[in-house]
Amino acid sequence: MTDRPNDPGSEFGDGEPVVRDKRRIDPETGNLREPSQAPAGGARPGMPGTPGAQPPRDPSDLIGPSAQEALLTEALAERTADLQRLQAEYVNYKRRVDRDREANREVVIGSVLTELLQTLDDIGRAREAGELEGAFKAVAESVERVTEKLGLVKYGEVGDHFDPRIHEALLHNYSDEVDGPTATLVMQPGYRLGERILRAARVAVSEPTEQLPAETTGEADPADKPTE
Protein backbone atom coordinates (compact mmCIF):
# COMPACT_ATOMS: atom_id res chain seq x y z
CA MET A 1 0.00 0.00 0.00
CA THR A 2 1.38 3.41 -0.99
CA ASP A 3 1.61 6.09 1.62
CA ARG A 4 -0.04 9.36 0.67
CA PRO A 5 1.30 12.58 2.03
CA ASN A 6 -0.78 14.40 4.56
CA ASP A 7 0.12 17.86 3.22
CA PRO A 8 -3.07 19.89 3.26
CA GLY A 9 -2.02 21.44 -0.10
CA SER A 10 -1.44 18.06 -1.77
CA GLU A 11 -3.88 16.07 -3.85
CA PHE A 12 -4.06 13.28 -1.29
CA GLY A 13 -3.81 15.12 2.04
CA ASP A 14 -6.43 15.19 4.68
CA GLY A 15 -7.36 18.72 3.64
CA GLU A 16 -9.83 19.67 0.96
CA PRO A 17 -9.14 17.62 -2.16
CA VAL A 18 -7.85 19.43 -5.26
CA VAL A 19 -9.19 18.25 -8.61
CA ARG A 20 -6.95 18.82 -11.67
CA ASP A 21 -8.60 18.35 -15.05
CA LYS A 22 -5.87 17.24 -17.46
CA ARG A 23 -8.12 16.33 -20.34
CA ARG A 24 -6.95 17.69 -23.71
CA ILE A 25 -10.50 18.30 -24.92
CA ASP A 26 -12.67 20.78 -23.06
CA PRO A 27 -15.88 18.87 -22.26
CA GLU A 28 -17.95 22.06 -22.34
CA THR A 29 -16.73 23.70 -25.58
CA GLY A 30 -15.21 20.73 -27.38
CA ASN A 31 -12.09 22.81 -28.22
CA LEU A 32 -8.52 21.59 -27.89
CA ARG A 33 -6.87 22.95 -24.77
CA GLU A 34 -3.43 24.53 -24.88
CA PRO A 35 -0.85 22.79 -22.66
CA SER A 36 -0.21 24.76 -19.52
CA GLN A 37 3.24 26.21 -19.12
CA ALA A 38 4.69 27.21 -15.83
CA PRO A 39 6.50 30.54 -15.64
CA ALA A 40 10.23 30.02 -15.99
CA GLY A 41 12.78 31.36 -13.55
CA GLY A 42 10.18 32.42 -11.07
CA ALA A 43 8.69 34.97 -13.45
CA ARG A 44 5.20 36.04 -12.62
CA PRO A 45 2.40 35.84 -15.17
CA GLY A 46 1.75 39.16 -16.82
CA MET A 47 5.41 40.24 -16.82
CA PRO A 48 6.89 41.21 -20.22
CA GLY A 49 8.59 38.27 -21.90
CA THR A 50 6.47 35.62 -20.18
CA PRO A 51 3.52 33.68 -21.62
CA GLY A 52 0.31 35.56 -21.15
CA ALA A 53 2.09 38.89 -20.65
CA GLN A 54 0.10 41.99 -21.66
CA PRO A 55 1.65 44.60 -24.04
CA PRO A 56 2.80 47.88 -22.49
CA ARG A 57 -0.04 50.23 -21.90
CA ASP A 58 -0.35 53.44 -23.93
CA PRO A 59 0.52 56.53 -21.87
CA SER A 60 -2.88 57.96 -22.73
CA ASP A 61 -4.44 55.03 -20.82
CA LEU A 62 -2.84 56.34 -17.63
CA ILE A 63 -4.65 59.70 -17.74
CA GLY A 64 -8.28 60.55 -17.27
CA PRO A 65 -10.91 61.17 -19.94
CA SER A 66 -10.67 64.96 -19.59
CA ALA A 67 -6.94 64.95 -20.28
CA GLN A 68 -7.41 62.63 -23.26
CA GLU A 69 -10.04 64.96 -24.69
CA ALA A 70 -7.68 67.93 -24.27
CA LEU A 71 -4.92 66.07 -26.12
CA LEU A 72 -7.27 65.15 -28.96
CA THR A 73 -8.52 68.73 -29.20
CA GLU A 74 -4.96 70.06 -29.37
CA ALA A 75 -4.00 67.53 -32.05
CA LEU A 76 -7.11 68.42 -34.07
CA ALA A 77 -6.29 72.13 -33.84
CA GLU A 78 -2.73 71.49 -35.08
CA ARG A 79 -3.94 69.43 -38.05
CA THR A 80 -6.57 72.07 -38.90
CA ALA A 81 -3.93 74.82 -38.83
CA ASP A 82 -1.69 72.75 -41.11
CA LEU A 83 -4.52 72.28 -43.60
CA GLN A 84 -5.43 75.98 -43.53
CA ARG A 85 -1.79 76.96 -44.09
CA LEU A 86 -1.51 74.50 -46.98
CA GLN A 87 -4.71 75.82 -48.55
CA ALA A 88 -3.51 79.42 -48.24
CA GLU A 89 -0.20 78.53 -49.90
CA TYR A 90 -2.05 76.82 -52.76
CA VAL A 91 -4.36 79.81 -53.28
CA ASN A 92 -1.38 82.20 -53.36
CA TYR A 93 0.46 79.92 -55.77
CA LYS A 94 -2.57 79.74 -58.09
CA ARG A 95 -2.99 83.53 -58.06
CA ARG A 96 0.69 84.02 -58.87
CA VAL A 97 0.53 81.52 -61.74
CA ASP A 98 -2.61 83.14 -63.17
CA ARG A 99 -1.06 86.60 -62.88
CA ASP A 100 2.14 85.49 -64.60
CA ARG A 101 0.16 83.73 -67.33
CA GLU A 102 -1.89 86.87 -68.02
CA ALA A 103 1.24 89.04 -68.04
CA ASN A 104 2.95 86.72 -70.52
CA ARG A 105 -0.17 86.74 -72.69
CA GLU A 106 -0.18 90.56 -72.78
CA VAL A 107 3.52 90.63 -73.68
CA VAL A 108 2.99 88.26 -76.60
CA ILE A 109 -0.09 90.11 -77.87
CA GLY A 110 1.69 93.45 -77.47
CA SER A 111 4.64 92.22 -79.52
CA VAL A 112 2.35 91.11 -82.36
CA LEU A 113 0.33 94.33 -82.31
CA THR A 114 3.50 96.44 -82.30
CA GLU A 115 4.50 94.82 -85.59
CA LEU A 116 1.09 95.75 -87.04
CA LEU A 117 1.23 99.45 -86.14
CA GLN A 118 2.95 100.41 -89.40
CA THR A 119 0.26 98.55 -91.34
CA LEU A 120 -2.44 100.40 -89.41
CA ASP A 121 -0.69 103.69 -90.24
CA ASP A 122 -0.76 102.79 -93.95
CA ILE A 123 -4.46 101.97 -93.70
CA GLY A 124 -5.12 105.33 -92.03
CA ARG A 125 -3.22 107.28 -94.70
CA ALA A 126 -5.05 105.39 -97.46
CA ARG A 127 -8.39 106.23 -95.84
CA GLU A 128 -7.49 109.92 -95.60
CA ALA A 129 -6.47 109.93 -99.27
CA GLY A 130 -9.71 108.24 -100.33
CA GLU A 131 -7.88 105.18 -101.65
CA LEU A 132 -9.47 102.67 -99.27
CA GLU A 133 -11.86 100.98 -101.67
CA GLY A 134 -12.98 97.55 -102.85
CA ALA A 135 -11.24 94.42 -101.58
CA PHE A 136 -8.47 96.45 -99.94
CA LYS A 137 -11.07 98.25 -97.83
CA ALA A 138 -12.60 94.94 -96.67
CA VAL A 139 -9.18 93.54 -95.71
CA ALA A 140 -8.19 96.76 -93.93
CA GLU A 141 -11.38 96.85 -91.88
CA SER A 142 -10.94 93.18 -90.99
CA VAL A 143 -7.43 93.87 -89.69
CA GLU A 144 -8.70 96.81 -87.63
CA ARG A 145 -11.49 94.68 -86.11
CA VAL A 146 -9.03 91.96 -85.12
CA THR A 147 -6.67 94.42 -83.43
CA GLU A 148 -9.55 96.04 -81.56
CA LYS A 149 -10.74 92.61 -80.41
CA LEU A 150 -7.27 91.94 -79.00
CA GLY A 151 -7.55 95.14 -76.95
CA LEU A 152 -5.64 97.64 -79.07
CA VAL A 153 -6.87 101.21 -78.51
CA LYS A 154 -6.02 104.14 -80.78
CA TYR A 155 -5.73 107.59 -79.20
CA GLY A 156 -4.55 111.10 -80.00
CA GLU A 157 -6.88 113.87 -81.16
CA VAL A 158 -6.46 117.57 -81.86
CA GLY A 159 -7.37 119.49 -78.71
CA ASP A 160 -6.16 116.80 -76.27
CA HIS A 161 -4.35 118.08 -73.20
CA PHE A 162 -0.66 117.34 -73.65
CA ASP A 163 0.53 114.56 -71.33
CA PRO A 164 4.22 113.65 -71.64
CA ARG A 165 3.44 110.15 -70.41
CA ILE A 166 1.36 109.33 -73.50
CA HIS A 167 2.36 112.06 -75.98
CA GLU A 168 5.61 112.83 -77.77
CA ALA A 169 6.03 116.49 -78.73
CA LEU A 170 7.68 116.89 -82.12
CA LEU A 171 6.83 120.61 -82.54
CA HIS A 172 6.30 123.39 -80.02
CA ASN A 173 4.80 126.89 -80.35
CA TYR A 174 2.67 129.47 -78.55
CA SER A 175 -0.91 130.46 -79.22
CA ASP A 176 -3.57 132.76 -77.82
CA GLU A 177 -6.22 130.12 -78.48
CA VAL A 178 -5.14 127.65 -75.80
CA ASP A 179 -5.13 127.90 -72.03
CA GLY A 180 -2.58 125.16 -71.40
CA PRO A 181 -0.29 122.73 -73.21
CA THR A 182 -2.50 121.38 -75.98
CA ALA A 183 -2.02 119.03 -78.94
CA THR A 184 -2.85 121.21 -81.96
CA LEU A 185 -1.66 118.74 -84.60
CA VAL A 186 -1.50 114.94 -84.55
CA MET A 187 1.31 113.69 -86.76
CA GLN A 188 1.01 110.06 -85.76
CA PRO A 189 -1.67 108.48 -83.53
CA GLY A 190 -0.76 106.59 -80.40
CA TYR A 191 -1.77 103.08 -79.42
CA ARG A 192 -2.14 101.37 -76.07
CA LEU A 193 -2.93 97.87 -74.86
CA GLY A 194 -4.68 98.10 -71.52
CA GLU A 195 -2.45 100.35 -69.39
CA ARG A 196 0.61 99.65 -71.54
CA ILE A 197 1.59 102.28 -74.12
CA LEU A 198 2.73 100.55 -77.31
CA ARG A 199 3.47 103.85 -79.06
CA ALA A 200 3.11 107.43 -77.85
CA ALA A 201 1.08 109.81 -79.96
CA ARG A 202 3.37 112.22 -81.84
CA VAL A 203 1.93 115.72 -81.80
CA ALA A 204 2.62 119.43 -82.12
CA VAL A 205 2.12 121.23 -78.82
CA SER A 206 0.93 124.81 -78.32
CA GLU A 207 1.19 126.73 -75.06
CA PRO A 208 -0.49 130.01 -74.01
CA THR A 209 1.24 133.17 -75.21
CA GLU A 210 1.55 134.57 -71.68
CA GLN A 211 4.07 131.86 -70.97
CA LEU A 212 6.50 133.31 -73.52
CA PRO A 213 9.85 134.36 -72.03
CA ALA A 214 10.19 138.12 -71.48
CA GLU A 215 12.94 138.59 -74.12
CA THR A 216 10.74 137.10 -76.85
CA THR A 217 7.82 139.49 -76.23
CA GLY A 218 9.86 142.64 -76.97
CA GLU A 219 9.66 143.98 -73.42
CA ALA A 220 12.83 145.64 -72.21
CA ASP A 221 14.37 144.78 -68.94
CA PRO A 222 13.99 147.70 -66.43
CA ALA A 223 17.71 147.49 -65.71
CA ASP A 224 18.44 148.32 -69.35
CA LYS A 225 16.43 151.62 -69.39
CA PRO A 226 18.62 154.76 -69.59
CA THR A 227 18.84 156.89 -66.49
CA GLU A 228 18.09 160.61 -66.60
* DSSP per-residue letters across 122-142: HHHHHHHTT---HHHHHHHHH
Among 85, 145, 83, smallest CA distance to 116 is for 145
Residue 200 near residue 163, CB atoms below 8 Å: no
Number of Cα atoms under 13 Å in the Cβ half of residue 67: 6
What whole-number distance in Å separates Cα of residue 210 and Cα of residue 176? 8
pLDDT, position 66: 82
What whole-number distance in Å separates Cα of residue 5 and Cα of residue 143? 123
pLDDT, tens digit (0-9, with 9 covering 90-100), for 206-225: 999 887 766 554 444 444 44
Backbone phi, psi, residue 97, to 5°:
-65, -45
Number of Cα atoms under 13 Å in the Cβ half of residue 57: 7
pLDDT, position 132: 86
pLDDT, tens digit (0-9, with 9 covering 90-100), for 155-182: 999 999 999 999 999 999 998 889 999 9
pLDDT, tens digit (0-9, with 9 covering 90-100), for 125-152: 999 999 888 899 999 999 999 999 999 9
Percent of the chain having pLDDT more than 70?
67
Residue 58 has pLDDT above 80, yes or no: no
Alpha-carbon distance values, 171 to 154, 157, 159, 187, 206 (Å): 21, 15, 15, 10, 8
Sequence-ordered list of residues with C-beta below 8 angstroms from that of 180, at least 6 positions apart, any chain: 161, 162, 207, 208
Residue 191 near residue 155, CB atoms below 8 Å: yes
pLDDT, position 220: 46
Residue 45 near residue 39, CB atoms below 8 Å: yes
Residue 10 has pLDDT above 60, yes or no: no
What whole-number distance in Å separates Cα of residue 189 and Cα of residue 160? 12
Residue 39 has pLDDT above 50, yes or no: no
Residue 202 has pLDDT above 60, yes or no: yes
